[in-house]
Amino acid sequence: MWYPIKSPFWLHWLYPRLLWHHRRDVPHLFLTFDDGPIPDVTPEILNILKGYDVRATFFCVGDNIRKHPDIFQRILDEGHRVGNHTYNHLKGWKTPFGEYLKNVEACNQLTQTDLFRPPYGRGTKKQYRELEKQYKIVMWDVMSGDFDPGISPDQCLKNVLNHTENGSIIVFHDNIKARERVLYALPRAIEHWLEQGYTFKTL
């Protein structure tokens, strides 16, 4: 499985209106989590974040909010931000335009947010043009790879430590595939970044 750990510059050039990172002259980082909320992972992530007094942004799938409203409410209650990740985790490239927009709106009925991240980071320019009328479309510049069963938890940790810089938007996942790697890498990465003087912000 191949994917870029650091988002390539040409993607930033192709899609300059999307948010890839924040200011590089300030030592702040933006932790994000995609695909939850689910009971097997999200509460443990929230416990880790609470232990370090760190806030993050959770891009939630609408159907998971429907199934687990108590966990979604906990995300909000503990001061984190939420973003829209479609209702059914759709691939933008493979979903008709109107169907995709309806699915995003169904999720927005639950999230009530102005942040959107396309699942798999894949959408069409037409979809983005329409969605940016209502949302800030958030991508990333560091992908942890926690969803990849082909890498070890330690490699996942190295992925984020080796590629993060000022203003980085970092992607982890609160889904079952990522569980082992994210729960290993997240606390170790936070400790390292805190020692380096970084602060954490929500989007």
Cβ atoms of 6 and 141 closer than 8 Å: yes
* Domain range annotation of the chain: 9-200
* Residue of 34, 35, 141, 146 with catalytic role: 34
- Tell me: domain 9-200, CATH 3.40.50.970, correct? no
Rounded Cα–Cα distance for residues 38 and 15 (Å): 31
Write down the pLDDT at residue 91. Answer: 93
Write down the pLDDT at residue 36. Answer: 98
* Residue of 35, 148, 173, 174 with catalytic role: 173
Rounded Cα–Cα distance for residues 42 and 35 (Å): 10
34 included as an active-site residue: yes
Q: Would you say residue 170 has pLDDT above 90?
A: yes
Write down the pLDDT at residue 1. Answer: 77
CA-CA-CA-CA torsion sign (131, 172, 7, 29): positive
> pLDDT tens digits, residue range 64-116?
999 999 999 999 999 999 999 999 999 999 999 999 999 999 999 999 999 99
pLDDT, averaged across the chain: 97
